[in-house]
Amino acid sequence: MADLSVVFAGLRLTNPFMLASAPPAATGEMIQRAFDAGWGGAVTKTIALEPAVDVQPRLARLAMGNKVVGLENIELISQRQLSSWLNDLEEIKRRYADHILFASLMGAVVREEWHSLIRQIQEAGVDGFELNFGCPHGMPEKGMGSAQGQDPAIAAEITRWAKEVATVPVMVKLTPNVTDIVQIGRACEHAGADAISAVNTVSVLMGVDLERLEPRPSVGGTTSFGGYSGKAIKPIGLRCIAQLAQGTNLPLSGIGGIGGWQDAAEYVLAGASTVQVCTAVMFRGYRIVDRMKKGLSDYMDEKGFGSVGEMRGYVLPRITAHEELDSAHKVVASIDEALCTKCGLCYTACLDGGWQAIEMESREVFPRVLANKCDGCSLCTHVCPVEECITLLPL
């Protein structure tokens, strides 16, 4: 059986699955229930010297039918007093000494503020800190969150301040709302950061209610830009983790769109040592970690990975510059008539969005690929509703 334990920033976790800094980690009681459910670690909802006040409502979803693919929030940091958090943190570490607990922190660009936060929370016994340089709404207007994570000099300066007083590992949580996340990661690395978590939410406007003529989520008729999470942002998170794995030497915690063991496996293969989960827990509860752990363990056994460490970054050598891809590699689409339903989706897609390489005289006959016109783009394989009906064959 594969070994799911990991060493992350010098800390040993029984498994790589952590709660992200978010509503599922909003109180000590919630974190303890998550640990009872089997999570290896958790990052608290972001703590500051002064609690936040949230608007209502503050969530909006993007759905395809009944399936939610993304969730926007305009929620701020913790609503709880620092004193309440200190009591919770002490209790968590007293009862769950073998679980890893990071405290997420946010503050202004004021050295004394960060020192005060870290000193007080450190005494409660946390295993590490996560500096929130990523929140894209509300806090940036005050010079915090992603406003700090978008400026390498400020991010580095705050990291140095944290390292001046922290006696436990300091992780920085980065925003994807930048043109070059590696530049920010390197600045924090050079300033002494012990690890990086990525990514925080993606800045969005979720949508407009066409009946009420109001943006969503509507707070009495108005809204603000918010943070987007869920399955839809996984490709963004994976790209950022792979870039940071290639561009820095720090251990990475992957965040964004993780809802099953397959997502976690992809993040590890792209360079993450641990993964953090939020939106999937909000929709399905803490117990999803059971299936995640079993699924990842079974997959590792199947592929011959004895540990998460062996698996980490396995695909990175295969992620290269576009100019280094093999332009001589050619493929052609092939349609399996035994599976084809004659729906015509491949024909329409290729006709109006491809290379006019599929013929279909009527819905009574099978579509046919014109090999001499097929450019191997793969569009037909993605619109086909029948798995494995259309495949790409090498030439």
Determine the pLDDT at residue 4.
99
Residue 354 confidence (pLDDT) above 90: yes
Confidence of residue 97 (pLDDT cuts 50, 70, 90): very high
Residue 142 confidence (pLDDT) above 90: yes
Spell 221-239 as b/e; 16+ CB within 10 A means b. Answer: eebebbbbbbbbbbebbbb
* Domain spans, the chain: 6-318, 326-394
pLDDT averaged over every residue in the chain: 98
Separation CA 314–CA 365 (nearest Å): 44
Residues 139/145, Cβ–Cβ less than 8 Å: yes
389 is catalytic: no
Residues whose CB falls within 8 Å of the CB of residue 317, separated by 6 or more in sequence, listed in order: none
Catalytic residue, candidates 135, 188, 374, 380: 135
Determine the pLDDT at residue 180.
99
Give the type of residue at 174.
L
Element (H, E) at 35: helix 28-37
Determine the pLDDT at residue 244.
99
Q: Which token pair is 327?
A: 């332009």
Determine the pLDDT at residue 76.
98
Q: Tell me the pLDDT tens digit for each residue of 238-291.
A: 999 999 999 999 999 999 999 999 999 999 999 999 999 999 999 999 999 999
Whole-structure pTM value: 0.97
The mean per-residue pLDDT over the stretch 30-37 comes to 99
Separation CA 170–CA 166 (nearest Å): 7
Determine the pLDDT at residue 33.
99
Spell 107-136 as b/e; 16+ CB within 10 A means b. Answer: bbeebebbbebbebbbebbbbbbbbbbbbb
Decide which of 2.60.40.420, 3.30.70.20, 3.40.640.10, 3.40.50.620 is the CATH code for 326-394.
3.30.70.20
Q: Tell me the pLDDT tens digit for each residue of 286-308.
A: 999 999 999 999 999 999 999 99
Q: Tell me the pLDDT tens digit for each residue of 98-123.
A: 999 999 999 999 999 999 999 999 99
Could you give the angle at the alpha carbon of 104 between the alpha carbons of 103 and 110, nearest 5°?
A: 115
Percent of the chain having pLDDT more than 70?
100
Determine the pLDDT at residue 1.
87
CATH 1.10.760.10 at 6-318, yes or no: no
Task: Look at residue 117 and give its three-state secondary structure.
Answer: helix
